[in-house]
Chains A and B, each alone.
Chain A
Amino acid sequence: MRTKPATRFLQYVAVICYLVFLGFPLLWLISSSLKSPQEFASITPSILPKHFDLSNYSDALNEQGLVRGLGNSLQISIYSTILVLIVALPVSYALARFRSRLRPLTNGWILVSQVFPVILIVIPLFMILRPLHLTNTIPGVVIVYTVWSLPFALWMLQGYVAAVPRELEEAASVDGAGRIRTIVSIVMPLLRPGLIATAMFTFISAWNEFFFALVLLQDPQLKTLPLVLARFVGAEGQVQFGPLAAASVLATVPSLVFFAFLQRRLTSGLLSGAVKG
């Protein structure tokens, strides 16, 4: 192209500024998690640790509350992901394939649920769940996460269902398969990348969620990882920065895996192969 060298230079400067703005905080967090306590005490902190020290990670994992939080977060995220998939699959199939009256209603609800401030929902939820003895319980939070991840899961999945070629389903019905049979043996296998992406999205939303958990879980035994981490910071003064950074890195690992995985997975040409083959 005919970009002037001076412009080109400025362009690189801009991109590097962006990478520093974006990358430096992440780098600092990871490097802090690997620094020894002595290095933290030094007056001039260095960007990279002088020698890698994993003691912060073992300290973090020796912290009772943190391990429990990790376990609670894992449980809640896995259960709500499974529930979301079970509920979302038939609905998104119906959304993508049939034009029923529920379709505009559902899409309207998907939009509304993205827009409303959660404070309006959380108080009534609290009032509904408490008489049922579901506040301060893991099942209570799982149910709430399931319902509140559903809109986005439906939005994602119906796109994937729409991409499954109808010809395949028609072929199946010519061969005498009923609707349920078609969904299970034709649509579901082809939908695998979509189901995986939706599952990961749901898992990450539950893993990261803070507000509902803050309101619904008071019992220290049940607190999720974000709540435990937030409390860590609250008790300022005695904060051990190293273990805190290590715990933060551990809490981010699922998101990193999510992206590493998604990038490869979603570009695969599974569907086009199925039609042509």
Chain B
Amino acid sequence: MTATLTAPAPLKKKPGKPKQNREAILLFLPALLPVLILSVYPLIRGIALGFTDARAGLHVQTNFVGFENFSKLLHNNLFWDSFRIGVIWTLSVTILQFVAALGLALLLNTDLKFRGVARTLALIPWAMPPVVVAIMWRLLLHPTNGPVNEILQKLHLTDHPINFLGDFSTALPAVIVVGIWVGMPMTTVTLLAGLQSIDRTLYEAAAVDGAGAWSQFWNITLPQLRTVIVAITSLDMIWNFNSFGLVYVLTAGGPGGKTMLPMLFAYNEAFRYGNFGMAAAMGDVMVVIIIVFLFFYLRNRLRSEA
């Protein structure tokens, strides 16, 4: 929801009143213990687990093995494949859905008809269970019963049914299209909210100065949208990089590992082969990638804003 993007309102009261601090801590108590046990501790333990040889089993005996898991990963072709596929998936979904969403948001910000319909439809894909989205697209892309093949053949774009999700060359692109279908509406609505908060008088002033639509877009719309764009694209990238359920049900990483996203790879390591340590190491690698990405992306984007 767009709530992610709205900062909490600034506080008016002065800080540091001891009585207030005590009251705040009391109000925090019911949440503190469960969160520490079931979220903070597992997170730290999970990071540490990547440096051990932990395996699934009734009595988990773990030994510290240093960087062994990481060096095994680096020598594993499947790891590199999943990493490459993860990057292709993340970048294609995020960039394509952003470009499409920006165009759409600009359209919906004008006085076109259908705006209401488009906005109402917009959040449904985002709220649908990912498993249902995956099932729906399996029905759509089905080689013999699916309407997509039916339409392509009617239009004579292909003479034989395509097994989109089962063919080596089409599986990843097909999965990417589904990813865009899920994510684009949410991005559109967020960008639309950003567009609507831009001060109209800026455009009026620019029009008086003789700026055309193009120049208004580059010099007003994009700079004014910068914070929203940075926020939504970085969230989209992280969500896409970490995504699991959608592709798990669409292809389970197949055919032949062509859609094996990093999370699917890690899940298989942990819960199919029982290599908890290896899966955690994979998680560690993903965290490092996300942190490095966030650092450079946010630093560059937000600095140029200031």
Contact = CB atoms under 8 A, between A and B. Distances in A.
Interface in A119-160: 119-125, 127-128, 143-144, 146-148, 150, 152, 155-156, 158-159
Size class of the B contact interface (CB-based, 8 Å): 35 or more
A15 interface: yes
Interface stretch (B121-129, B191-199, B216-224): B121-129
B46 to A, nearest CB: 3
Contacts of B11: 97, 99
B30 A91 contact: yes
Interface residues of A, number: 96
A179 B27 CA distance: 11
Contact of A258 (B3, B127, B294): B127
A204 B127 contact: yes
**By CB atoms of chain B within 10 A, which of A88, A93, A119, A127 has the most?**
A119
A174 interface: no
Contact of B4 (A29, A93, A155): A155
A19 B39 contact: no
Contact of B131 (A95, A162, A229): A229
B107 A128 contact: no
A251 interface: yes
B253 interface: no
Interface in A45-103: 45, 47, 86-88, 90-91, 93-103
B238 A123 contact: no
A226 B245 contact: yes
A91 B60 contact: no
Given A45-B145, A115-B290, A210-B245, A148 B8 contact: no
Interface in A169-228: 179, 201, 204, 207-208, 210-211, 214-215, 225-226
A44 B138 CA distance: 18
Interface string B226-254: 00000000010010011011001100000
A117 B242 contact: yes
B288 to A, nearest CB: 11
A210 B238 contact: no
B39 A148 contact: yes
Contact of B111 (A1, A121, A159, A245): A1
Interface string B267-306: 1001100001001101110110010001000000000000
Interface of A: 1, 3, 11-12, 14-16, 18-19, 21-23, 25-26, 28-29, 32, 40, 44-45, 47, 86-88, 90-91, 93-103, 106-107, 109, 112-125, 127-128, 143-144, 146-148, 150, 152, 155-156, 158-159, 162-163, 166, 179, 201, 204, 207-208, 210-211, 214-215, 225-226, 229-230, 232-233, 241, 244-245, 248, 251-252, 255-256, 258-259, 263
Interface of B: 1, 3-4, 6, 8-9, 11-13, 15-16, 20-21, 23-25, 27-28, 30-31, 34-35, 37-43, 45-47, 49, 54, 60, 100, 103-104, 107-108, 110-114, 117-118, 120-125, 127-132, 134-140, 145, 147, 150, 181, 185, 235, 238, 241-242, 244-245, 248-249, 262-263, 266-267, 270-271, 276, 279-280, 282-284, 286-287, 290, 294
